[in-house]
Amino acid sequence: MRYMIALLCGVSIVLAAGIACAHPPTDITLTFNSETKILEVVITHPVSNPASHYVGKVDVSLNGRETLTQEISRQDNPTTQTVVYRIPDAKSGDIITLEAHCNLSGALARDIKVE
């Protein structure tokens, strides 16, 4: 019985440590070119191992309507993930929202107004 309790405590500590290391992206930089309709995105998400802890999903919305979702299987490098999208329906005054999701825990969203 004591062995089971000790084992459960050990497993709980390991799981808690893994969750504690998980974190959402810390910043998102959006640049939109109105002529080419290209959205360039740099997602800052510092990690020690981009193969196991990374930006796992990106959602893009135009004026509140989700227009695309990209699943990502690993991060470009230990600091950032860069993505580029063509948003052909974007016009002046529109709001583009990008939400980046950590594969372990959390998300961060940023908006850009089309000029």
Q: Which two tokens stand for residue 48?
A: 């020690």
CA proximity to 24, closest of 104, 114, 111: 104
> What confidence category does residue 11 fall into, taking pLDDT thresholds of 50, 70 and 90?
very low
The CATH class for the domain spanning 24-113 reads mainly beta
Mean pLDDT, all residues of the chain:
89
> What confidence category does residue 10 fall into, taking pLDDT thresholds of 50, 70 and 90?
very low
From CA 16, how far away is CA 19, in angstroms rounded?
A: 5
Domain segments of the chain: what residues?
Answer: 24-113
> For 23-64, what is each residue's pLDDT tens digit?
999 999 999 999 999 999 999 999 999 999 999 999 999 999
* Among 10-19, 53-62, 78-87, the least confident range: 10-19
Burial pattern 11-35, b for ≥16 Cβ within 10 A else e, equals eeeeeeeeeeeebbbeebebebeee
58 in Cβ contact with 84 (< 8 Å): no
